[in-house]
Structure 1
Amino acid sequence: MTVPLASSSPGRASRLAAVRARTAAAVAALAVTGAAAVAVTVTTAPPAAAEQGTVVVSESFSSGSLPAGWNAVDGTWKVQNGRLYGTSANSGENNKITFGRHLNDFRLEATMRFESVSAATRWASLGIDVPASGATPWWIATMRSGTTAANGLEFAQRTTGNAWVVTNTASAAYAAGTGRDVRVAVEVHGNQARWIFDGREAMRTSSLQRSANGVQALFVNGATVSYDDVTVTELPPNGYIRPAGSPFTVIAHRGASAAAPENTLVAQEIARRGGADWIENDVQPSRDGIPFVLHDGTVDRTTDGTGSIRNLTAAQLKALDAGSWFGPHYVGVRVPTLAEQLADLRTRGGNLLLEIKGRHTRDEVATIVKVIRDEQMAGRVFVQSFEVDALRYTRELAPELPLGLLRSNLDADPVAISKELHLTAYNPDGNALLARPEIVAPLHAAGVAVMAWTIDSAGLWQRLERIGVDGVITNRPAELVGWNAALLQRPDTSPTVAITSPVDGARLDRAQSPVLAVAATNADTVTVTLDGTTTTVGRELDLTTLAAGRHTITAEVTGPAGTATTTSTFTVTASQASLGYLILTSGAKPGALTAMSTHVAHGQYAQLATYVERQAGKLVPADVARVIAADARTLARP
């Protein structure tokens, strides 16, 4: 599909822009000399990025010295040519500069450039959680100059024993190399973070161990690196809403339940190794009040025992075989307590989406909350339930825990019940959601994430991704992780549009005849307006008919992936030369031409205005007479 954009007038340069591959949506991009940078707003089907909050740090290093509050802990750090330069002579130096303040939810971004490196393995980092003194332990998001290596990007911790713990690695689409500006960012929500390389998510982690007072930092190792436009923005706390361009949050249903016996530590381990962001499990109490991880009301289906879980003691439940029903190599796997599951997640990594299964009393919910707190996992547990009372009790007892409401059928007003229950997420059956996809946008607008269950089909994943779902609960987490990875490799098909002529901010006189030109990608249609009136691309603007002053061009394009709009302004100026041009091209009678030219030559603008107003429709055509008179009166003002 090609968007027909009219050709420019003779003498104006025009060329056709190529198409982006995936949607086969081609666009004709008409360009002229002097294109200016303009802001573009894109509205697409996927959810928007999290709403921006307070900008804590915004530094362009224009002062020529280190900004106030920036602490060069070690190494050489200096501001030069509008950039911050950090130097580390060898790989043994993890030189750093700290700044900012402690934040739980924030986005740190910077333009980074390797000026020189001792080897392609050397790196620079964004410090996520670093003591202001630079002491260990600290967490960083690292970029090597050889960014296409398997570990070109990393999340890593430097421990108090000066050892490295690398939790996640990824490769970038291209090498940062040397002498090349790369815009990078890390978006942090508690123990979760996304590594964003050149505008696209490259990987994520849920393994951060946050401190109570760590700040932000920049690092350099075995290289000289320059930084520019460093920004730290505090974000709203709900990091569960998926930023535009990012893939699903992967939630392993009862662990990797398609590959191992559900709701067991082995299923949890397989899900973790497969890259799941969250483990989803169910909790119910034993007869003696110990919370156990089990889905059914009875143990019959998933163990070698029988009976209701609430009629069995903890000792009886621990004696059951919870693995042999799934396969012979799982013989002897046990039903875990909630405490055991949380301890495993705390020490080996991972987060828990915990479903309170069935009706629970307030005291039973209080026991669950106590176990979560005793295991020091309050920052890594998300509670969900079909039972509204269970959510109310959780809110009352532990307001710090995020809440999700499970639904088989959608509420008439999901936003209203989300507000009533103080939900962080609304978690419906995926197929029910696909029947009413329009509920996603208002939930996002209300700050509520959407997590769909239980979806194992790539075809349905694609449909859920298109309507903006944030997380998917699935029995096949490893497959969804792979699907996410493929999603990140897809070319960006969001439409773009820029007004290339007149250039944004241009000041034009009456004698100029700019051609209206637009460049667009991934678009099927283009609509352009001048001062609110629809016009056409390729039109030569007749500035003799426009009022002096500011004029606005708006361009909107639509394509398979959404809509994009942009605006550009230009100013028509009143000048002696412009008046001369207007007069010579006015079509006025010879006597009037002589009279008007004489007034202009002598700077007699007030007299010119009076004369032309008298002769309008007589010796001077009325339409051009109005423009000449207006410009003359503008120039006549002191």
Structure 2
Amino acid sequence: MTVHSASSPGGRATKILAATRLAATRTRVAAVAAALAVTGAAAAVAVATSSPATAKPGDVVVSENFSSGSLPAGWNAVDGTWKVENGRLYGTSASASANNKITFGRHLDDFRFEATMRFESVQAATRWASLGIDVPADGATPWWIATMRSGSTASNGLEFAQRTTGNAWVVTNTASAPYAAGTGRDVRVAVEVHGNQARWIFDGREMMRTSSLQRSANGVQALFVNGGTVSYDDVVVTELPPNGFLRPEGSPLTVIAHRGASAAAPENTLVAQEIARKGGADWIENDVQPSKDGIPFVLHDGTVDRTTDGTGNIRDLTAAQIKALDAGSWFAPQYAGERVPTLAEQLADLRTRGGNLLLEIKGRHTKDEVAKIVQVIRDQQMTGRVFVQSFEVDALRYTYELAPELPLGLLRSSLDADPVAIARELHLTAYNPDGNALLAKPEIVAPLHAAGVAVMAWTMDSASLWQRLERIGVDGVITNRPSELVGWNSAFLQRPSAEPTVAITSPADEARLDRAQSPVVAVAATNAETVTVTVDGVKTEVGRALDLRTLAAGEHTIRAEVTGPEGTATATSTFTVTPSQAGLGYVILTSGAKQSAVTAMTALLSQGQYAALATYATVQAGKQVPADVAGVIVADARALAQK
């Protein structure tokens, strides 16, 4: 996290994803609505809006295209110039120090906020516009924004940032967009928010994520402009389901640091937590067990022998004895003096410095021991940022009884016969199996997702395994190498799309052709294993010339469908067969009619006697002129006679 000065911040081709398990999983995830995780406070803000009084997941809370010609009801132009013209909302900021804003909407914990943004003019490429994620209705600080600069390809072209009560900027995350927003260019942007976590989406592609939002109890949505004029259109705010652990289509794996950055620092210590946080981990995974005097400590083993300079069962040692132990020297000399943290210390560090905790209740616990863990979480005001998991079913049952607001995950070394059933029984938010067991039976992922249950695999430490897990639709990975997985995710986001594409290149869409032409059906496809082409529903082959002599005059449709490992894509194209003298002549000469008939029809055609030609072909149909060809000649001749 960096602190900046107060002046700084921040055809007709149709694609259908399906056909494979991955694509089906992605479609389902998108339907459930997704993003990364957790909750915030939930109070409605007292501002007038045109949206419904209440909302539930999937409801569109705000939808505005500015067609009325004036500011929508309930939109509060806090500062700067805001006006509606030509079906767009225009905001102007006269200087780089003016963070002008307009607020609207209502407080939501889980939502998607999207808009079309266009820089009309800017004082410099560093100037910006933003989607306000959590902003007081009166525009007062503090507030959180997702920012896009005009020069969006800069290293900080995109940002998550907070304006503090002291009017300073805290920029928590930055990224570079794939192309410059510039001026005069529409860019579709979106932010998906789940409590203190959010994803920044640029033209349909996730650019970065944060877990550092500090949510208020009543902040609403807003639009911002700084140092220029920006126009907005098609502003939509949609409430999302609270389980933001489900991975959205196109998003990378959630990174869960196993015992902190345990490959780089002594496990389950605050330094391992700090390294994992700096490395970009979305979650810290740690274990909790009680001391002899009932204080929850962060430790994996049942004894302190392996990871400290002491010996003995943790449950036989007092808190004072545990705190006196060196928990770092065993790993490396530079970590000498690291201590075993209490759960309270770990949560306080996460609360103040950022991050979320996937907390494993290690081993058998009584209900009173679980109650102590829950109390510490509540005392530290971290119920919205802690996810509880355990191998122990009783520990999960106790947690649900004591704190139903905490999300739950069941750890498994081997898979249950019916993971969905046990997920329902235990009120699970996630099913967290051994990654190798999951890869042996990947078909369990789709039904869990259909039930709204995320899947997090443990403990997987190689790129080849991450790739396999991503392909079967896993949502998160618990790993000893969180920074490497963060880097792998970055490469994943930059990968060229493996989804198939298809376009019909010949005949050209909306082409007008006469019967003398013989266009070849041509298709351009990528990432495709099979290609199927039809003309008016009848299958044909790529590379085959169309015989326009037999087609009825009028519009015809070509449809191409391709399939590949990442799904299916389709494209359609139309062409029109138009009667012409040259085309009709070609039909007559190649009709197979008797020569005397060809001579007679050619003479009538050259003289422009189309009605007489139609009569002649009608009389000779099935006699001197093949019946099917005669029908085409009659229809075209009559059409020409009417011109």
What is the TM-score with the length of structure 2 in the denominator? 0.81
Paired with 2:198 and 2:108, the residues of 1 have a C-alpha distance of: 13
In structure 2, the residue matched to 1:165 is 170
Q: 2:265 aligns with which of 239, 251, 260?
A: 260
Indicate whether 1:225 and 2:209 are aligned. no
Q: 1:38 aligns with which of 10, 13, 26?
A: 13
Contact 2:63 2:235 in 1 (8 A): yes
Q: 1:50 aligns with which of 27, 30, 52?
A: 30
Paired with 2:101 and 2:459, the residues of 1 have a C-alpha distance of: 45
SS in 1 for 2:217: coil
- In structure 2, runs of 5+ residues without a counterpart are 1-10, 34-57, 638-643
1:373-399 CA deviation, whole Å, 9 max, x = no partner? 222111111111111222222223322
Once the two structures are superposed, the pairs formed by residues 586-597 of structure 1 within 5 Å of their partners are none
In structure 2, the residue matched to 1:11 is none
Paired with 2:103 and 2:208, the residues of 1 have a C-alpha distance of: 24
Paired with 1:61 and 1:173, the residues of 2 have a C-alpha distance of: 29
How far did residue 429 of structure 1 move? 1.4
Q: 1:332 aligns with which of 327, 333, 337?
A: 337
1:92-138 CA deviation, whole Å, 9 max, x = no partner? 11111223333222222222222221122211111111223222221
In structure 2, the residue matched to 1:89 is 94
Q: 2:570 aligns with which of 563, 566, 570?
A: 566
SS in 1 for 2:17: strand
How far did residue 592 of structure 1 move? 11
Once the two structures are superposed, the pairs formed by residues 284-433 of structure 1 within 5 Å of their partners are 284-433=289-438
Paired with 2:246 and 2:489, the residues of 1 have a C-alpha distance of: 16
In structure 2, the residue matched to 1:446 is 451
Contact 2:509 2:575 in 1 (8 A): no
In structure 1, the residue matched to 2:188 is 183
Query: Per the alignment, do residues 532 and 418 of structure 1 end up closer, same or farther by CA in structure 2, a change over 3 Å counting?
Result: farther
Alignment: residue pair count: 593
Structure 2 counterpart of 1:179, which letter? G
Contact 2:587 2:633 in 1 (8 A): no
Structure 2 counterpart of 1:249, which letter? T
Structure 1 counterpart of 2:17, which letter? V
Paired with 1:40 and 1:457, the residues of 2 have a C-alpha distance of: 32
SS in 2 for 1:485: helix
Structure 2 counterpart of 1:38, which letter? A
Query: Per the alignment, do residues 548 and 270 of structure 1 end up closer, same or farther by CA in structure 2, a change over 3 Å counting?
Result: same
Query: Per the alignment, do residues 393 and 146 of structure 1 end up closer, same or farther by CA in structure 2, a change over 3 Å counting?
Result: same
Contact 1:554 1:565 in 2 (8 A): no
Name whichever of 262-271 and 443-452 sits farther off: 443-452
Query: Per the alignment, do residues 100 and 41 of structure 1 end up closer, same or farther by CA in structure 2, a change over 3 Å counting?
Result: farther
Indicate whether 1:246 and 2:259 are aligned. no
In structure 1, the residue matched to 2:641 is none
Paired with 2:70 and 2:284, the residues of 1 have a C-alpha distance of: 48
Structure 2 counterpart of 1:444, which letter? H
In structure 1, the residue matched to 2:51 is none
In structure 1, the residue matched to 2:132 is 127
Greater relative contact order structure (CA < 8 Å, 6+ sep):
1
Contact 2:113 2:235 in 1 (8 A): yes
Paired with 1:389 and 1:210, the residues of 2 have a C-alpha distance of: 32
How far did residue 448 of structure 1 move? 2.3
Structure 2 counterpart of 1:50, which letter? A
Q: Percent identity?
A: 80
SS in 2 for 1:332: coil
In structure 2, the residue matched to 1:474 is 479
Contact 1:40 1:498 in 2 (8 A): no
Query: Per the alignment, do residues 56 and 531 of structure 1 end up closer, same or farther by CA in structure 2, a change over 3 Å counting?
Result: farther
Q: 2:108 aligns with which of 103, 110, 115?
A: 103
How far did residue 141 of structure 1 move? 0.6
Paired with 2:396 and 2:456, the residues of 1 have a C-alpha distance of: 16
How far did residue 341 of structure 1 move? 1.1
How far did residue 287 of structure 1 move? 2.5
Query: Per the alignment, do residues 194 and 554 of structure 1 end up closer, same or farther by CA in structure 2, a change over 3 Å counting?
Result: same
SS in 2 for 1:39: strand
SS in 2 for 1:270: helix
Contact 2:516 2:586 in 1 (8 A): no
In structure 1, the residue matched to 2:209 is 204
Indicate whether 1:556 and 2:561 are aligned. yes
Query: Per the alignment, do residues 66 and 498 of structure 1 end up closer, same or farther by CA in structure 2, a change over 3 Å counting?
Result: farther
Contact 2:102 2:222 in 1 (8 A): yes
Once the two structures are superposed, the pairs formed by residues 612-623 of structure 1 within 5 Å of their partners are 617=622, 621-623=626-628
Indicate whether 1:489 and 2:494 are aligned. yes
Name whichever of 527-536 and 186-195 sits farther off: 527-536
Indicate whether 1:80 and 2:60 are aligned. no
1:279-306 CA deviation, whole Å, 9 max, x = no partner? 0001112233222211111222222222
Contact 2:153 2:177 in 1 (8 A): yes
Contact 2:584 2:636 in 1 (8 A): no
In structure 1, the residue matched to 2:274 is 269
SS in 1 for 2:377: helix
How far did residue 195 of structure 1 move? 1.1
Paired with 2:85 and 2:543, the residues of 1 have a C-alpha distance of: 44
Query: Per the alignment, do residues 557 and 361 of structure 1 end up closer, same or farther by CA in structure 2, a change over 3 Å counting?
Result: same
Structure 1 counterpart of 2:459, which letter? T
Paired with 1:397 and 1:621, the residues of 2 have a C-alpha distance of: 86
In structure 2, the residue matched to 1:437 is 442
Paired with 1:412 and 1:578, the residues of 2 have a C-alpha distance of: 69
Name whichever of 479-488 and 611-620 sits farther off: 611-620
Paired with 2:620 and 2:401, the residues of 1 have a C-alpha distance of: 82
Contact 1:548 1:571 in 2 (8 A): no
Query: Per the alignment, do residues 619 and 438 of structure 1 end up closer, same or farther by CA in structure 2, a change over 3 Å counting?
Result: same
Structure 1 counterpart of 2:115, which letter? A
SS in 2 for 1:177: coil
How far did residue 615 of structure 1 move? 8.4
Query: Per the alignment, do residues 132 and 285 of structure 1 end up closer, same or farther by CA in structure 2, a change over 3 Å counting?
Result: same
Query: Per the alignment, do residues 628 and 101 of structure 1 end up closer, same or farther by CA in structure 2, a change over 3 Å counting?
Result: farther
1:190-238 CA deviation, whole Å, 9 max, x = no partner? 2111112233222110011122332222111011112233332333322
What is the TM-score with the length of structure 1 in the denominator? 0.82
Paired with 1:134 and 1:370, the residues of 2 have a C-alpha distance of: 35
